[in-house]
Each structure stands twice: as structure tokens, then as C-alpha cells.
Amino acid sequence: MRRPERFADRLSSPLAFGLIVLAHGSRSTKANDEVRVLAQGLGHFIGASAAADAFLEQAEPSLEGAVGALASAGITDIRVFPYFLNSGRHVLADVPKLISDAAARFPDVQLTTLPHLGGLPGFVEMVAELLVHASVTTGDEP
């Protein structure tokens, strides 16, 4: 499978925005570190000026902490990507409340909520392609 080009490379003029990948959080340092790596990688590929991770529980920083860190770096346009597969309680209730609270605390920052992972257009097709690729590289049928 080919490595995707950076979305930012296709833009005629760069946009100045920050990205926060908001995940559940885990007691496992390794799991939280994977989210940190994901946030930086996604930020790079979509051309974010800065990228950060945030967690609902069991890990730091909180969403408010991540917004504060990006705001203190001069980022006033922040997109929040809820890294959740399903539109359960966290996506439907907790994330909107946290974003509303952060918006009230940082009124000069524009916060935009992106679709959660499982709600992204083309998600099923993307996973199917990755599964086919995985079975080709392992020699197993999907």
C-alpha cells in the first residue's frame, strides 16, 4: 500500500490550524503513547500547524489542557478529532460538553468538532482496503 501524500501539499495556500486527537485514555502508557504518535502523524499529513493529544480520562492532558497548550502557542483555530469508533455516550454527550467547556474557557479560540473515527465518510471502505492489504502481506484470506 502506498504512503498517502500530505493533504497540505495539495493546498494552494497553507492554513494555520491546530489538531487535537481526543481519545478515551488508558492506564496503559503504551496505549496513550500510541495516541500521541497518531496525533503527530495526522497533524503532519493534514498540514496542521500544531497537533496535540487529549484524553477523556485516565491520562493527561485533558481536552481543556490541550486547547490551552495550543492557544498559548498562538493557535486560535483548533479542530478536535474524537478518536472513537462508535457514537456512544462519549461521542454524543461527553465530547460536546468538554468542547463547550473549553470554548467557554478560551473564547478567542475557534473549536471545530470533526466526525468521530467511525463516522468518517469512507471509513468502512478504508478499513476493508486495509484488511485486504493485511491479508495479502500475511498470506491469509480476510
pLDDT in tens, 62-114: 999 999 999 999 999 999 999 999 999 999 999 999 999 999 999 999 999 99
Does 105 map to a domain? yes
How far is Cα 90 from Cα 63, in angstroms, rounded to an integer?
13
Domain with 73 in it: 11-138
**pTM of the model as a whole:** 0.86
Looking at the structure of the chain, the number of domains it has is 1
Rounded CA separation 91/84 (Å): 7
Q: For residues 118 and 82, what is the distance between their CA atoms, to the nearest angstrom?
A: 9
Has residue 130 got a pLDDT over 80? Answer: yes
CB count, 10 Å around CB of 53?
25
Q: Tell whether 66 is covered by a domain.
A: yes
Answer whether residue 107 is part of any domain.
Answer: yes
Does 51 score more than 90 pLDDT?
A: yes
Within a domain: 128 = yes
So what's the pLDDT on residue 83?
99
Provide the 8-state DSSP code for 125.
H
